[in-house]
Amino acid sequence: MMAGPGKARIVIVVARAENGVIGKDGTLPWRLSSDLKHFRAVTMGKPVIMGRKTFQSIGKPLEGRDNIVVTRNPDFAAEGVIAAASLEEALDVARMKAGAREGGEIAIIGGAEIYAAAMTFTDVIDLTEVHARPDGDTFMPDLDGNVWTETSRQRHAAGPKDSADYSFVRLERSS
């Protein structure tokens, strides 16, 4: 399932604290208005794949994107969402949706189980590194430096609606 020529690139979009935390009690353990704007910009117009818990924490489909929710519950249904029984099924749907658009990227937006399952065939990680060490109960898998190469980093001081400094980091799979 690796992306090849003419195939949609698979991009993990994630905010992770310095201690690996990505969530606590089904929510983000920080407030970063700047990251929410960044997230919207990098996912807009693309198919987004998420787990059911992530969808429920967001509470509604993300507008301007094809929302694909991976769930083991065959009865799951939500307006504006395509349910998929597996990550593979979600990727098949997302590839069809991405193929109809220029750019051809698919965004994987969480949670931890989906990130872990997608890691082996992801092409790019669009990481917001949150410069804090909050308590949490959900963690991002470690990123192997032999697999991922940092290609850009932009550090930002916390804005008026941000609870921490942060960096936007792009990691690409090493060849």
- Domain residue extents for the chain: 9-173
Q: What is the pTM of this model?
A: 0.93
Fold classification of 9-173 is: Dihydrofolate Reductase, subunit A (3.40.430)
- CA angle, residues 165, 170, 175, in degrees to nearest 5: 150
What is the rounded CA–CA span in Å between residue 47 and residue 155? 27
Q: pLDDT at position 98, please?
A: 87
- Cα separation, 73 vs 75, whole angstroms: 5
Residue numbers of the chain with a pLDDT score lower than 50: 1-5
User: Do strands 105-108 and 9-17 pair parallel, antiparallel, or not at all (unpaired)?
Assistant: parallel
Tokens describing residue 128:
């917001």
Q: Biggest alpha carbon distance in the chain? A: 44
168: its two tokens: 């936007």
Q: How confident is the model at residue 68, as a pLDDT? A: 98
pLDDT in tens, 48-72: 999 999 999 999 999 999 999 999 9
Residue 89's pLDDT is what? 97
